[in-house]
Amino acid sequence: MDILKGKKHFSAYLIFLVFFILVCILNWDARYEKPVWDTVGGVFAPAIYLYETGFDFRALLNEPGFPQAGPNVHVYSPITFVTAAVMWLFDGGRAPVYLSLHLIQFALTAMLLTVVFSLSRTVFGVFTALLITVAVVLFPPFLIQSRYMYMEIGGSLCVILAFSNWVKKNYFWSAIAAIGACIVKSFGLPVAVCLALLFMFEKGEKAKRFTYILMMVVLGAGVELLRWMQGTNMAPANNTNYIGYLIHQFHSRLTQTPDFYLILLFLIIGGWWYLLKNGSALKGKFVLEGQEVGDIETGKRVLLGGILMVSAFVGFIGVVPLSGMGFYPLTRYYIWIWPVMVITLVALISCGSGGSWRKNKKDGYAIKLFVNVVVLAMIGLFWCNKAGEYYPNYGKDITAFSIAERSMEYISFNEMQSSLLRSAENINDQDVYLNLFDTYYASSPIMGYIDDYKENFRNILTYHNNQADLSEYPDNFALVLSNISHGGQYMSALIYQALKAPDKYEVKILDNYNIDGFTGSIVGISKVSN
């Protein structure tokens, strides 16, 4: 794309290599890390099915979906197919599969950082661009996703490519990248819609721009229609009060990472204030016919596109619950737009200060200094907080993985969960019930949590409205209680019922783990013999 043109070939490859080495250094301890959380259910489950069935995609589409712990999840994403191909290449060997997929993820992260640096250098100069790039990668939730074998980094790469190419007026590649984001995951849709609107207000080459808009609408909407028709990933909504549900979810999820929350609020409120205040200038300055890349106005173009794209993304997340789905705006979803946010933040501070990045302007150096100090402060905070020490403490003993994965805390959480499953694997004389994600973990040895398939493993597939009933269970069984989500609350209700009837049931702690504050237990419940 634009960063690989002409004389920039060697420079781009060198920059990529530097960032790849950096990402490897930051994440080298994760190179053999097994899949975690949604990686297990969202990518590995369908990939394993494809690998074991000789890539029988049609059969995969007929399998159960996420609410039933089935493999029919994210089946259209290229990340799933790449994962399956790597499994086939190494015949399911866990170590080479994990290493290869992690190296691919490191490479995708390095590509993303290369694009961030390239765009930022064009607008702000080399030093500020370097600071922006470091701030992007060190943001704890972003750093965690770069360690995974999942979809957010690939999606974020497509988004920043779409954004960068739009800023530099490479409209074809911008449209292609937006379509790629849609194919990776549904979160590409707001990006494509935003770009389609921006294309409409550009000047010149109407036929080409219309073609690109049509490409994004047809292909982006087409892929999403396929997902909708699939319908297997739809979890039922647990709250019919849309406004209350939305406010609660946005607040509860975003306050888990207050640094991100503040930046997001500043961008939306401050960004729209600036755009509305300077509305008369936008028409003439943001969309120019003869503007050269690298002009001061390019920074304003970054600001316009960035504010609109961030707003579209947040709006999309807010609209999704209207579909009737139970939807949780997890912090990791915002990784898709995070690089755009950081670049836009710098542009907003610069433009809002009334300064210029041209060296011949007296206030230019002061603005640069101020912005660089702000970004350096962000870098310092992110680095000090990579273990989540400064994030709100929700009580690790009841924490869901969606909270733990905001920082390096996820490692301890996953170690606890892995230990529980290893212990449960040794239970052979009674049925063992698992929550939704533990069911995925135990579905195949390739997941890395068990060595063999267990016939006595059972799953508790329940969503919030199901009532616990001990009479539906055997006289003697065990529960793997690893977190409160996706069956954990139901298990706790079963245990509570048994404790309330000591004359009928005996409750025993078969095993218990506490790893850095994250706790989990294997609880045995048996009927008392008369």
- Residue 25 has a CB neighbour count (10 Å cut-off) of 9
Contact 71, 48 (CB under 8 A): yes
CA distance linking residue 308 with residue 336, whole number of Å: 14
Write down the residue that tokens 């809002």 correspond to.
352
Q: Which residues, in sequence order, are CB contacts of 37 under 8 Å at separation 6+?
A: 401, 402, 405, 410, 414, 437
**Backbone angle region of 74, left / alpha / beta, with phi > 0 → left and psi within -120 to 50 → alpha:** left
pTM score = 0.85
Phi-psi region of 291 (alpha: psi -120 to 50; beta: other; left: phi over 0): beta
pLDDT value of position 48 = 93
Residue 512 CB burial class (10 angstroms; 0-12, 13-18, ≥19): middle
Strands (E) in 354-504, as ranges, are 431-434, 457-459, 476-481
Return per-residue pLDDT of the chain as tens, 530 residues.
444 444 556 687 888 899 999 999 999 999 999 998 888 888 999 999 999 998 988 888 888 887 788 888 888 889 999 999 999 999 988 899 999 999 999 999 999 999 999 888 888 888 888 999 999 999 999 999 999 888 899 999 999 999 999 888 888 898 899 999 988 888 888 888 888 888 887 766 777 778 888 888 888 778 777 777 666 555 555 555 666 666 766 766 677 788 888 888 888 888 888 888 775 545 444 332 333 444 446 667 888 889 999 998 888 877 776 665 556 677 888 899 999 999 999 888 877 655 444 444 555 577 778 888 889 999 999 998 888 778 877 655 556 777 778 888 888 888 888 888 898 888 888 888 888 888 889 888 999 888 888 888 888 866 555 677 787 888 888 888 887 777 777 888 888 888 888 888 888 888 888 888 788 888 888 888 76
Which phi and psi (to 5°) does residue 325 adopt? Answer: -80, 145
